[in-house]
Chains A and B, each alone.
Chain A
């Protein structure tokens, strides 16, 4: 494994591996090992940026790029580490994150961080913004897809439910919601999230949020089966319980 100092000195670029991302996170946290909560989003993020989405520093200004919207803006270390690993901004930014002069805050700011599509932090905004983004792409005849990440507890916010109903009604199949489910919702019921999206007309699957092969299959753009209506999709990625 590369040492921390070597990581900082390395040119940014695609040579970073999944294993390196843990070391990049250590630059921010100072921890050698990370709690499951700190890395709950990491595997989904890695799979999306490494092998699913058509977005990179080379096409980040392309109107037709795929977009990833982090709605669950808190605990963004894994997000920053993946963006740095993929070359959106220098790895050297990580070490003094959340300092006064750093562009990296405890919640991401799209105007400060290259590659960040939305500024988040207050819960329940990303999915409605994603809906508007999909409608904007559709109106302009652009083919990019929009993947928005929410937490299971974030779905408490009623604004999400406004969006879940309308996305199905408008047949927004370019929209994918990935719910990182670490059972942190106070009134959560196992399986309820998938049921709720499905009942609202979404294509819904649940997968192991640590299994890269399963995540890759679930997150890759779906082709409709014959006779299937156009509809948005949700991937519920189950990870370790936050409070366990």
Chain B
């Protein structure tokens, strides 16, 4: 029988360095390896001995695309350890900052990384030759998200204003007002984005995923909630490590995460959407229905629609927060270090991001554990390829490879985060 290999040596339009190797014998897939060769950077190791107050600045450097997510998981984990609760307008400002990152990160992925696959271009720059108006809309929408991060956080990449207990400085109402104007435009642009991507061609592919996301009693989740799955899991984040395990496999510099006794699971926009549709704003729900989506969506290729709905939600939510904003009396809750352990999970653009810290009575970090979304999705990405490829074997090699890449980009994988990944190889025998 003929062996065939599909190889992508260096996956493009993902954050970080990875590749894909697929081996086939006849019409059967015999091996799929999502390879992550992004160099390891050892964050958990060098956090040891650092002051707990440095954690949000240091862990932000794991990822330039979603630094706010790292900062949010870090501060909430440390506040959990120190028995501090950040409420009221400070809590709302953190949510606003996260809205900014979701808008910026999702828009980057929808317009610049994922849409070119659906329309058959190698990148957004080439796509702009025929779809200049759409690309310009994307850039302006992305900028609106970045401006929130800039005003609340100090700068777009690696914001400086987040601290354990709150912020270094809180904005005035007047400083937030110009954002509201841009977000009103952004909300319309996001609605236009949902309509635009819902007309893309989608392959029929609906695996029975095990979705995992946060769920909050009232809100679409950002910083708080219980960990729930589509199959009955409902736990407090404190019990994360009793249910989820990480294993080290030879072909990847990122650890693979699984749910005990259940195996691979799925985190990110599609998981959040399926588990929290009822928590979306009425405008976002209506846009979803108009795009032809119900409260459940299992086609990973349609994650581009769901991501656009989340951009719309984030614009809507950011406007609500700005509208209700009153500057708090103090920028941060006072913190006294003590020997303690604490953990937290927040919803990064790509899914749940877990942090746990153990600190000394002097406030020095003794131990840190970080589980990023992409390492949790790795196994599910590989499973998708096992299931997806056999249906598309009639395609010429070049087309099949591109389809595999697109299937991986459904997850907006962030390889820089996961090593703390994309080359595609397909072997046909």
The finding on whether chains A and B are genuine partners in a shared complex, rather than unrelated, reads no
